[in-house]
Amino acid sequence: MAVTYMTEEGLRKLREEVAEMESIQRPEISRQIAEARDKGDLSENAEYDAAKEAQGMLEAKIAQLKGILASARVIDEAMINTDHVQIMNKVTLKNLKTNKLMTYTLVSENEADLKCGKISVNTPIAKGLLGKKVGEVAEIKVPSGLITFEVIDISI
C-alpha cells in the first residue's frame, strides 16, 4: 500500500469526514432503506433501490477514506525547506507567455483545493515544478499544450 503524505490539518479533516459519514450519513441511509421497505413490494420499489445504491456508494467511500487514513503519514513541517520545490511548499510562478503571476501550495491529492490555491503534487504542473529552484524555468506539458513557468519564490 502506498504511503499518503498529509498535513496535520488534512489528516484531521479526513478523520472528521469519516466520522460524519459513519455517525450521520450511514444511519440516515439505513432509515431511508427501512422507510422504503415498509412501503411494500421491493421488486418495483425505486426508493428502496436508490437507498440501497446510496448505501453501497457510502460504504465504498468510507472504505476508501479509511484506506487512506491507514496509509497516511503526517509531514514533519520542520523537515520542509525552500531551496527547491517540494510538497508543502508555496510556489509563486510566472507564466512566461502571459507574464501572469500565480501562487500554489503543493499538497497531497486528498488536500487539493484549487479555490484555496492548493494543487495536488500529482498534477502535471506540480510534477513539472518538483525539484526546481528559484529562477529556474519549467516547461510543463498540460492537456492544452506546453506552458513555461519561471519559479519566482518558494516559501512554506
pLDDT per residue over 38-70, tens digit each? 877 777 778 888 889 999 999 999 999 999 899
Over residues 108-113, mean pLDDT: 86
Percent of the chain as helix, strand, coil, to the nearest 5: 45, 25, 25
**Average pLDDT of the residues in 105-127:** 90
Q: Is the pLDDT of residue 1 over 60?
A: no
Q: Which has the closest alpha carbon to 93: 69, 119, 111?
A: 119
What is the mean pLDDT of the segment spanning 72-101? 88
Strand (E) or helix (H) holding 22: none
User: Which domains does the chain possess?
Assistant: 4-74 (1.10.287.180), 78-155 (3.10.50.30)
Residue pair 91/83 in contact (Cβ under 8 Å)? The answer is no
Mean of pLDDT values over 113-120: 91
Q: What is the pLDDT of residues 7-27, one digit of tens each?
A: 888 889 999 999 999 999 999
**Strand partners for 92:** 103, 153
Look over the chain and give the mean of its residue pLDDT values, rounded to a whole number: 89
